[in-house]
């Protein structure tokens, strides 16, 4: 029988922080992870480019036998998901589904905040898309959302400098800029799948009443609920507890850096997209 793993996509390593939680909450499923490291970062690219790259990745997942693909990347979810769902999905077959990370997060993020002032830290692309502002307004119309782009954070993390002293300046600077928008912010969402690696630096810079929320567990819980509500899809996904990792760039780099994001050793395979 053909394997039908759940596809998990990111521009690079960040989606591994989501995959880690998926595997923890839904260990029985098979997963196929793809990092488009050769073309990362996505956060500074145009809508058209992110859409094109993400569509190529989704097509690749479907060719590998996946029926369900999770875009474990806020930038791809913000800039490509809706168009893929509305325009492209039909041509791949009635069963296929692509889910993102923004909606599941927006659905519950309001529950974390007492003041109703939510801070969002994300890539420039996610901030400009206004996706979080629009999505949270559906579920928590009384909440006020403040956004701050952190263009230096992904490069710092991707270059393995997230624990070093050089990161402090850029982390503090982005946090200051966010908090200067409202003194009532009591919840900060890390709306980029890379950012949980900076949590040890972020948390001590904040007053104790401000909580920081990462998305991994939220997205995993949402996927578990989705599979419960869609038993046919859950039945189609293969369940051998296997995980495969693919990257569009160097496998040795991916294995070395990816292990930091995933928290366990990784052995990846190289693939090409857009050919």
Considering the complex, what minimum distance in angstroms separates the CB of residue 231 from ligand DGL?
Answer: 30
CA-wise closest residue to 30 among 245, 242, 266:
242
Coil, strand or helix at 268: strand
Q: Does 41 bind ligand DGL (CB under 6 A)?
A: yes
CA distance 118 to 182: 9
From 66, 73, 150, 237, the catalytic residue: 73
User: Nearer to ligand DGL by C-beta: 197 or 237?
Assistant: 197
Q: Are 8 and 31 in contact (CB under 8 A)?
A: yes
Q: Which residues, numbered 64-83, are part of the site for ligand DGL (CB under 6 A)?
A: 73-75
Tokens of 2: 């053909």
- Residues 205, 148, 183, 190, Cα dihedral to 10°: -50
Task: Report the interhelical angle of 216-229 vs 102-109 (nearest 10°).
Answer: 100
Considering the complex, what minimum distance in angstroms separates the CB of residue 229 from ligand DGL?
Answer: 25
From 66, 150, 192, 237, the catalytic residue: 192
Sheet containing 97-99: order of strands: 97-99, 68-71, 6-10, 31-35, 243-247, 268-270
User: Nearer to ligand DGL by C-beta: 75 or 214?
Assistant: 75
User: Nearer to ligand DGL by C-beta: 184 or 260?
Assistant: 260
Annotation says 73 is catalytic = yes
User: Nearer to ligand DGL by C-beta: 35 or 237?
Assistant: 35
Which residue of 4, 10, 67, 223 would you call a contact of ligand DGL, by CB under 6 A? 10
CA-wise closest residue to 59 among 204, 275, 217, 252:
275
CA distance 230 to 214: 26
Binding mask 126-155 for ligand DGL (x = CB under 6 A): x---------------------------x-
CA distance 166 to 175: 15
Contact range with ligand DGL by CB under 6 A, out of 1-9, 36-44, 127-135, 234-242: 36-44
Binding mask 189-218 for ligand DGL (x = CB under 6 A): ---xxx------------------------
Active site residues: 73, 192
Task: Catalog residues that contact ligand DGL under the rule CB under 6 A.
Answer: 10-12, 14, 40-43, 73-75, 123, 126, 154, 192-194
């Amino acid at each position: 029988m053909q394997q039908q793993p759940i596809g998990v996509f990111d521009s690079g390593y960040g989606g591994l922080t989501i995959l880690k939680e998926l595997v923890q909450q839904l260990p029985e499923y098979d997963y196929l992870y793809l990092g488009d490291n050769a073309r990362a970062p996505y956060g500074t690219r145009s809508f058209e480019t992110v859409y094109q790259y993400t569509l190529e990745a989704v097509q690749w997942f479907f060719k590998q036998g996946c029926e369900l693909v999770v875009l474990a990347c806020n930038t791809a979810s913000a800039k490509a998901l809706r168009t893929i769902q509305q325009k492209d999905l039909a041509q791949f077959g009635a069963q296929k589904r692509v889910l993102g990370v923004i909606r599941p997060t927006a659905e519950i993020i309001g529950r974390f905040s007492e003041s109703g002032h939510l801070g969002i830290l994300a890539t420039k692309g996610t901030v400009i898309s206004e996706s979080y502002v629009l999505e949270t307004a559906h579920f928590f119309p009384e909440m006020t959302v403040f956004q701050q782009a952190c263009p230096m954070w992904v490069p710092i993390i991707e270059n393995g400098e997230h624990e070093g002293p050089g990161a402090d300046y850029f982390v503090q600077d982005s946090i200051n800029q966010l908090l200067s928008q409202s003194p009532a912010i009591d919840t900060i969402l890390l709306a980029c799948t890379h950012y949980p690696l900076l949590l040890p630096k972020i948390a001590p810079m904040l007053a104790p009443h401000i909580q920081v929320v990462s998305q991994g567990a939220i997205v995993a819980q949402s996927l578990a609920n989705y599979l419960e509500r869609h038993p046919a899809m859950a039945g189609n996904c293969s369940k051998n507890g296997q995980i495969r990792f693919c990257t569009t760039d160097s496998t040795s780099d991916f294995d070395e850096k990816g292990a930091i994001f995933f928290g366990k050793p990784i052995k990846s395979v190289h693939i090409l997209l857009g050919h």
